[in-house]
Amino acid sequence: MEVMKYSSSGNDFLIFHNALHNDGTRPSLAQSMCDRHNGIGADGMVVLIPAANKPYAYEWEFYNADGSCANMCGNASRAVGHYAYMEGIAPSKHSFLSAVGLIGIEVDTSNTSLVQSDLGGWSVLGGNIIESNPYKVSSWTLLDTGVPHLVGFVSQMGDLPKLKDDCLRALRVKYNANITLVFAQKEQIFYMSYERGVEDITLSCGTGAAAAFVMAFENNLCSRYAKLIPPSKEILELRVNEDSHILFKGAVKAIARCEWLL
């Protein structure tokens, strides 16, 4: 089976289409392929299902590295959009169907490494949440940007954790959400996300960037446009359009075409 490995700002994925029937083995396939020692290695696996005579180009199934499904993944949406365009599955501007609805994609034809996703809107699930933590976060907000994120602001760059710890894991389990910490500095927003399904701090998280941006925007810490900087240091551009949708743009790259022996 042919698989493409992609990186979206350090978040890496394995992508294929029309290779396997959905016979219930995809979660275990994701675990095997995403294993960084005995597999190809990735944060997640995506299956494209081309859709004929539909108002969208394809559907997708997204699996975390542990085999669990996720409704959405912002960085994977950009990688998948690039893959679909380069493989001739979809035009440069198209949409696909995810578990949270239609996701709009636009590949920059003058520089095809740049891809923008329309992630839709967001919803606040809970605010002013008080949790003891070592990051000096006074209160947290739980919101959904395709998947849930518990978001907190730190006052210094140095308070952003670089390694996973017990507190991040405990908060992740308690709220069944990704944990995103943010340091906002004018139009530059630094953030990190501890992702469920990966159970670690990833080099970049797309829905985490969206969550960090939304909270900075709602707290008047940035305008309708900002640059987000994840641990990978690759710059992501986010803005809120007139429909209150989050537009998410950044570079993606195809790393390797792999053959997985079933």
Active-site residue set: 73
Q: From CA 141, how far away is CA 143, in angstroms rounded?
A: 6
Residue 140: strand, helix, or coil: strand
Q: Tokens for 244? A: 């209150």
Q: Which residue is associated with the tokens 């990978």?
A: 232
> What are the C-alpha distances in Å from 221 to residues 131, 212, 236?
23, 11, 17
Q: From CA 244, how far away is CA 99, in angstroms rounded?
A: 20
Closest residue by Cα to residue 3 from 52, 12, 234, 11: 12
Q: From CA 103, how far away is CA 99, in angstroms rounded?
A: 10
